[in-house]
Amino acid sequence: MSDRRNFIKTSALAATALLANSKISAEVNNKAGKEVKKPIVISTWKFGIQANEAAWTVLKNKGRALDAVEAGVMVPEADPAERSVGYGGRPDRDGKVTLDACIMDEFANIGSVAALEFIKHPVSVARAVMEKTPHVMLVGEGALQFALSQGFKKENLLVEESEKEWKEWLRSSNYKPVVNIENHDTIGMIALDENGNLSGACTTSGMAYKMHGRVGDSPIIGAGLYVDNETGAATATGHGEEVIRIAGCHLVVELMRQGKSPTDACTEAVNRVVKLMKVRKKELKDIQVGFIALNKNGDYGSYCVQSGFNYAVCDATGNRLIDADYHLK
């Protein structure tokens, strides 16, 4: 992993290259009377910077947001050094790498896989579920069977480093996800393309050392991801159980539909998480939940439970990492 200085340098170079290669596309949205800032892509955590670059190559060539988000999240999925997504992801308590992913387009087409083993790109299997089956979600063995029937390759996803750590973990077998540390983390990505259409994708290996069969928010449409082409899109990261409890991303999008800005919508969803933690007498400091949102005008925002969550934004002005504002101060 590069150090912070290198990272900033790389990001600055990437931003310059983006500027040189693209022109700002803006138009007046007559309905709202607002300038539409498009194309634009946003994604969770710092691996979002590289993921955004891949998405941007699609968007800057007037490609579809759906293709952009799939190409984008495939970057951390394929990277064995990213230990919370795809290949290289940390295993469950039985030593099995099980992946969750979903995708949603501008027509409300949806596809999702959960607890999928041995396939490096669960997002592409989710897209195949969306495009080639009459269903929207496949899990476990059935998802694997379908993936193989579609020509996806069966591979071992457990890298040496993850196996070593898992064996160390077995000594205590204490399940306690650490806030903001990469024993979880998800890439959620949402984009608005040149044609003004929204799509999103979300993919993760979930909480490290989870129970075998545990599914988080990430593959659940409405929880870890939601897209409404009239209004906006949202995606989530953090403790999936808490995101599912409030149907998080659907809530964020509905709040934007009621007129809230992306930031205010994310804030209200986080407030809901906070409230339910209190009702359930659970310690808020033990969890992280972060939302990012993008509306139809290309405005974006985020909010999370506690400091440490960041997200990457890429448009014609560059690709940058932004620290999300948070509740627990």
| Number of amino acids touching ligand ASP (CB under 6 A) | 13
Per rule CB under 6 A, is residue 208 in the interface with ligand ASP?
no
* Chosen residue from 52, 237, 306, 310 binding ligand ASP by CB under 6 A: 237
Tokens of 298: 């290309």
Per rule CB under 6 A, is residue 217 in the interface with ligand ASP?
yes
If the CB atoms of residues 112 and 218 are measured against ligand ASP, the closer one turns out to be 218
**C-alpha span between 327 and 40 (Å, rounded):** 26
Q: Of 105, 54, 317, give the one whose Cα is nearest residue 225.
A: 105
Give the shortest CB-308-to-ligand ASP separation in angstroms: 12
Per rule CB under 6 A, is residue 231 in the interface with ligand ASP?
no
**C-alpha span between 192 and 116 (Å, rounded):** 28
Give the shortest CB-197-to-ligand ASP separation in angstroms: 26
Place of tokens 């993760």: 204
Pick the stretch among 30-38, 234-242, 260-268, 310-318 that binds ligand ASP (CB under 6 A).
Answer: 234-242
Q: Of 296, 299, 293, 291, give the one whose Cα is nearest residue 269.
A: 291
Catalytic residue among 98, 186, 203, 267: 186
Per rule CB under 6 A, is residue 206 in the interface with ligand ASP?
yes
If the CB atoms of residues 120 and 239 are measured against ligand ASP, the closer one turns out to be 239
**C-alpha span between 252 and 243 (Å, rounded):** 11
CA distances for 282 relative to 32, 69, 211, 225, 246, angstroms:
42, 35, 20, 25, 15
Per rule CB under 6 A, is residue 242 in the interface with ligand ASP?
no
- Cβ of 195: how many Cβ atoms within 10 Å? 12
Per rule CB under 6 A, is residue 218 in the interface with ligand ASP?
yes
User: Edge-to-edge strand order for the sheet containing 232-238?
Assistant: 225-228, 232-238, 289-295, 300-304
Pick the stretch among 8-16, 63-71, 210-218, 259-267 that binds ligand ASP (CB under 6 A).
Answer: 210-218
* Chosen residue from 39, 86, 222, 240 binding ligand ASP by CB under 6 A: 240
Give the shortest CB-118-to-ligand ASP separation in angstroms: 18
To the nearest 10°, the Cα dihedral for 104, 39, 295, 105?
Answer: -10
Give the shortest CB-34-to-ligand ASP separation in angstroms: 32
Residues 157-186 touching ligand ASP, rule: CB under 6 A, are 184-186
To the nearest 10°, the Cα dihedral for 12, 18, 23, 25?
Answer: -90
Pick the stretch among 56-64, 216-224, 304-312, 320-328 that binds ligand ASP (CB under 6 A).
Answer: 216-224
Q: Are 269 and 296 in contact (CB under 8 A)?
A: no
Pick the stretch among 28-36, 132-140, 199-207, 259-267 that binds ligand ASP (CB under 6 A).
Answer: 199-207
Residue 98 annotated in active site: no
Residues in the chain: 329
Report angle CA 66, 68, 69 to the nearest 5 degrees: 70
Point out which residues bind ligand ASP (CB under 6 A). 184-186, 204, 206-207, 216-218, 237-240
- Which residues are catalytically annotated? 186
